[in-house]
Structure 1
Amino acid sequence: MAGTRSTGVKRKSRNHVQQDDSSSPTTAARDGQTALALRIAKHLAPPPPCATSDRSAAAGDGGGNVAFSPVSVHAALALAAAGARGATLAQLLNFLGAPSAEGLADFCRRVADLVLADRSGSGAGGPRVLFGGGIWVDASRGGLTDTFRDVAAESYKADARTVSFTKEPEEAVKMINEWVKKATDSLIDSVISVDDVDAATDLVLANAVYFKGEWMDPFQPTSTSTGTFNLLSGQQAEGKFMSKFEMLKVACMDRFKVLELPYKSFRSYSDTAKGEVNASVWPDASEVTQYSMFLFLPDARDGIATMVDMITASPAFMYSILAEMKEYVDLKLPKFKITFNWATLKDTLCQMGLTLPFSPEAANLQGLCQGDEGDGVPLQPLFLTKVAHMAVVNVHEKGTEAAAVTFLPLRWWLSRTCCGVYRRPSIQFLHHGEAVRGDCVCRARSRSNKVINI
């Protein structure tokens, strides 16, 4: 999916997400988000050649096409953490790499306000970005706690709505899917069905993110042609390849290369001063946001597993390998659209160590809803029954359009001139200096690109 990279005058900004103090809660939460993205990517990556591994089995289709947005997954779990208590909160914070619930909420608020704020209609130019959350609580539950409602709205841009999963499940599901369609600009029209809710469903949490950006220098459709893609199995498949020759930022690492493809960015403060845009749009040049896609290409045809191991070694290593040197590049990039419905994300999270929120006996999510129905009878404790995720990524000559939704139903318990030809498994990241997302294009046993959004 997408992340961004800040450009402009290199000076301190009071609104900048990344803090100078590496020990600050915000920086720790940022590194935790990146680490989670890399852990999920490694969990889904194909195993090394001739190795036995169940890493890619978590994708649920035995090595088929995969797309995910860790920003959405992270935000949805962070929203749940805002209502967690005790050992459940501690496990969620540890899993998300955040020092505290307050630090996590502050980081997510900064990302939502600065990195994922949509300015496409402000006259400043740049991609269209949508980010937000949704909360649907059953009328019988007694409502959300004031604390959770406030944090959800301020830090996670999540609006709460009252529904009846018991009496009107079809209407509740329709309301949720209408929200999804609007939040993703119709790229995703539904993520939940009546089968996902029942009489015991009390709450549904969701996050959605949408990105649509045009390349700084678009590919020419006349240069797109059919080419051969090398599969991990050793076989080959035909696909459409976009082509261009231009100067781009490149980094040549041991066993792989990194290339940056920038999107059209928001106009800089110097432009606003010339009267092209209202000068109040950008009061500080260091706040100008640049979105880019980073392409990671292993040198060896079967080198994707080794490359994933290297780039997932640590968040710091991820930051250090981003392309900086400019070279002329003869680029051939697959044109693709991937849709992936990850219904078994809960199983993957459990395998990665997140278990307490899903336990009917041990989950402590008492901070979500009010504790009484009004007659003094305590409500049954809530636990997460599922974490599901849907993502769509469309890369073409003009740019990229992508969206992702993560939803969590809860219920109560009844008891140099460089040639970059992407004809083999590769990784694509779209990056911001503070929040990393991206795409990993891997061809496995299917005939279409395997994309992992990071």
Structure 2
Amino acid sequence: MAPGMGKEATSACLAGQAALAARLLKRISSEAAAAGNNLVFSPLSIHVALALMSTAAAGDTLDEILRVAGAPSREERAAFVRDTVVDGVLADQCGIGGPSISFACGTWTDKAWPLWPAYVDAIVGTFKGNSWAVDFQNEPKESRKQINAWVAKATRKQINAQVFNPEDDDNADTVHAIANAIYFKGEWRNPFKKENTVDREFHRLDGSSVEVPFLQSWSYQCIACHSGFKVLKLPYEMMNEHNWKLYDSLPRFYMFVFLPDGKKGLRNIVEKIASSPAFLHDQSTTYPRSMSPSASSGCQSSS
């Protein structure tokens, strides 16, 4: 729980974050599926951007942002992002053997519309970000190139794509752009061995299949069986020091892999996630402690 925040406010912010993620998934996954495209997005990044926008909003605009983000108030939203997200979950752990994490937040405003000093202070203090004045109106290409370069640097060149197309001059109304980037690199607690990788058949939603390399392991893994799908929980390595007090205070990171029982069961899983904001939370907090080898056919049951 974030320092200075009540339990109810923290719970409300977490619930709002989950609800927003579910709505986004339902909306953009249907569009991606219709176009036959894969989808990767970060609800947390969008949530932080909304929090930053609310810092300078007022009236009906502020009310609408808070409704979308599911936040009790602007102040509680800012405290949650600062203490729980930026200084908590996204705090770098590479110095103690955990994941390497970095978070960067930036705003670019047309120089004809300077930001209020209080807003700049919030960007720097609450969101650990920076702000720049650019010339969107007269030098749109250079302004967009600057944002793209910032994204590449913030993600350690993992994202080199054009977030903003410098050649897109159709929109002359841009006065303010907000971006954030999260970099995460962690080691598996139980790494897969490269020599155990095997090619197997992977089934696509359109009915076709393709041979792809599958990771394979005979180590014990946490696997839960549900009606119509299974979930694999893969933990990331944490600290390498013997400090239990510090260990208990650190956030844990896992990758959850959802596998439908049927070849066309992916849409049902997506629908479960999108229709119930509590679904993913339930998967992570009520996970069974029993383990089973991932390479075997056995599976631990879960309600």
State the TM bucket, normalised to the shorter chain: 0.7 to 0.9
Q: Which of 292, 315, 329 is residue 293 of structure 2 equivalent to?
A: 329
Q: Does 1:68 align with 2:68?
A: no
Q: Distance in 2 between matches of 1:233 and 1:35?
A: 30
Aligned 1:1-12 pairs, distance under 5 A: none
4+ runs of 1 displaced by more than 6 Å? none
Question: What is aligned with 1:43?
Answer: 27
Describe the shift of the 1:151–1:324 C-alpha distance in structure 2 as closer, same or farther (beyond 3 A): farther
Q: Distance in 2 between matches of 1:200 and 1:330?
A: 54
SS at match of 1:324: coil
Could you tell me how far 1:14 is from its partner in structure 2? 6.9
- Contact 2:235–2:253 (CA under 8 A) maintained in structure 1: yes
Aligned AA (2:9):
P
- Highest relative contact order (Cα 8 Å, sep 6+), 1 or 2? 1
SS at match of 2:126: helix
Aligned AA (1:290):
R
Task: Quote the sequence identity (%).
Answer: 37
Q: Does 1:181 align with 2:143?
A: no
SS at match of 2:71: coil
- TM score, norm. by length of structure 2: 0.87
- Contact 2:9–2:72 (CA under 8 A) maintained in structure 1: yes
SS at match of 1:191: coil
Q: Does 1:127 align with 2:99?
A: yes
- Contact 1:177–1:191 (CA under 8 A) maintained in structure 2: yes
Could you tell me how far 1:78 is from its partner in structure 2? 2.1
- Contact 1:259–1:294 (CA under 8 A) maintained in structure 2: yes
Question: What is aligned with 2:129?
Answer: 158
Aligned 1:55-94 pairs, distance under 5 A: 56-57=30-31, 59=32, 62-94=35-67
Q: Distance in 2 between matches of 1:325 and 1:230?
A: 30
Q: Does 1:293 align with 2:255?
A: yes
Aligned AA (1:307):
I
Q: Which runs of 5+ in 1 are unaligned?
A: 1-12, 46-55, 274-282, 333-415, 420-454
- Contact 1:258–1:295 (CA under 8 A) maintained in structure 2: yes
Of 159-168 and 197-206, the range deviating more from structure 2 = 197-206
- TM score, norm. by length of structure 1: 0.60
Question: What is aligned with 2:227?
Answer: 254
Aligned AA (1:240):
P
- Contact 1:81–1:93 (CA under 8 A) maintained in structure 2: yes
Could you tell me how far 1:16 is from its partner in structure 2? 11
Q: Distance in 1 between matches of 2:254 and 2:45?
A: 18
Cα offsets for 1:201-249 (capped at 9, x unmatched): 3221111111111111111111112211112222212211111122122
Aligned AA (1:78):
A
Aligned 1:236-251 pairs, distance under 5 A: 236-251=209-224
SS at match of 2:40: coil
Q: Does 1:140 align with 2:112?
A: yes
- Contact 2:221–2:232 (CA under 8 A) maintained in structure 1: yes
Q: Distance in 1 between matches of 2:130 and 2:140?
A: 19
SS at match of 2:175: strand
Question: What is aligned with 2:120?
Answer: 149
Could you tell me how far 1:25 is from its partner in structure 2? 1.9
- Contact 2:18–2:278 (CA under 8 A) maintained in structure 1: no
SS at match of 1:240: strand
Q: Which of 87, 90, 98 is residue 113 of structure 1 equivalent to?
A: 87
- Contact 2:89–2:251 (CA under 8 A) maintained in structure 1: yes
The count of residues paired between Structure 1 and Structure 2 equals 295
Of 283-292 and 92-101, the range deviating more from structure 2 = 283-292
Aligned AA (2:97):
G
SS at match of 1:326: coil
Q: Which of 6, 13, 18 is residue 34 of structure 1 equivalent to?
A: 18
Could you tell me how far 1:305 is from its partner in structure 2? 2.2
